[in-house]
Chain A
Amino acid sequence: MIRKILFYSPLSIIVLLGILFYYSLNSETKSNSPLIGKEIPEFSIERLLNDNDQFTSKDLTSSENINFINVWASWCIPCRAEHNVLELLSKIDNVDLYGINHKDTKKNATNFINTLGNPFREIGFDSDGRTSIEWGVFGVPETFIVHRGKIIYKHIGPIHISELEDTIIPIIKDLN
């Protein structure tokens, strides 16, 4: 009897594996940042558009609004595609959109802003990418939603208009 069950075990294992693989094919990469739910990292970097001032973590924690931090670069093509979504985002009530310019030159970054428009309330100039590492950034673009000094959500890659509607707006509503 045990013997018979033993002979069915390879079959069962394959079925279980099949189920696992099926789900893995259908799953999407979730952004599993370990920073979600934690406080934002402390940072202080030059402002892109005003040399004399610093963009710091205090700028984010001191406001009651919902803060969006978008990490971008002028050499990043998906960042261009995302730009008009960011424009929409910046117009929402109670939402402040900040940018961190990642591993770029001031010249190219400023050109980018001048050409495409500036949706950002402030832009930090992270030339060596250190601040991005503090935020756990893999690449550009990435966007963080911050509220009351805590990271609520992280979006990897450019934000599509559909993602804005389906995922991001509901989060904003929840937080309000």
Chain B
Amino acid sequence: MKSSQYIFHILIAYSLLLSSVYALNVDQEERANNLFKETRCLVCEGQNIYESNSNSAEDMKELISEMIIDGNSDNEIKSFLVSRYGDWIIMTPPINQSTYFLWFSPIIILLIGIVFILRKFKKNG
């Protein structure tokens, strides 16, 4: 399309339905942004939908905005997404049997370090 035609479309064409992402009030917008940052983009490489500009991300943002407007809680929205796409779609890993090691091993490593140092000083007297 020639760029002049493009500008023409922008300036003259009438806008379609305002998308629901923009119909949120301030609190809802904050909830929405937080959920967007927690939802993984389906077609991108590791981005969340807040960051992505892809069509798929836009669709997802619309859906989440609508679910907020419909009165769903954050957890309900997340459950909905997880039921269809799995844990993968939420940016923060869940805390379950499979991920105990992920979440708790750093503390264990720290404790091992403390034990290590204390033992060294018991030896030194």
Contact = CB atoms under 8 A, between A and B. Distances in A.
Nearest to B89: A136
Main secondary structure of the interface of A (DSSP, over half): loop
A139 B43 CA distance: 7
Interface stretch (B4-12, B22-30, B55-63): B55-63
Given A139-B42, A139-B43, A34 B83 contact: yes
How extensive is the interface on chain B, given as a class?
10 to 19
B86 interface: yes
A135 interface: yes
A133 B60 contact: yes
Interface string B32-44: 0000000000110
Contacts of A135: 84
B85 A136 contact: yes
B43 A33 contact: no
Interface residues of A, number: 15
B102 to A, nearest CB: 15
Nearest to B82: A34
Nearest to A134: B84
A135 B85 CA distance: 9
Contacts of B83: 34-35
Given A138-B43, A139-B42, A139-B43, A133 B59 contact: yes
Contacts of B62: 128
A139 B56 contact: yes
A32 B86 contact: yes
A96 to B, nearest CB: 23
Nearest to B81: A133
B84 A103 contact: no
Interface in B73-106: 82-86
Nearest to A139: B43
A103 B86 contact: no
A170 interface: no
Contacts of A138: 42-43, 56, 85
Q: Which 9 A-B pairs have the closest CB atoms?
A: A136-B84, A34-B86, A138-B42, A129-B59, A136-B85, A139-B43, A133-B63, A32-B86, A34-B83
26 contacts: A32-B86, A33-B85, A33-B86, A34-B82, A34-B83, A34-B84, A34-B85, A34-B86, A103-B59, A128-B59, A128-B62, A129-B59, A130-B63, A133-B59, A133-B60, A133-B63, A133-B84, A134-B84, A135-B84, A136-B84, A136-B85, A138-B42, A138-B43, A138-B85, A139-B43, A139-B56
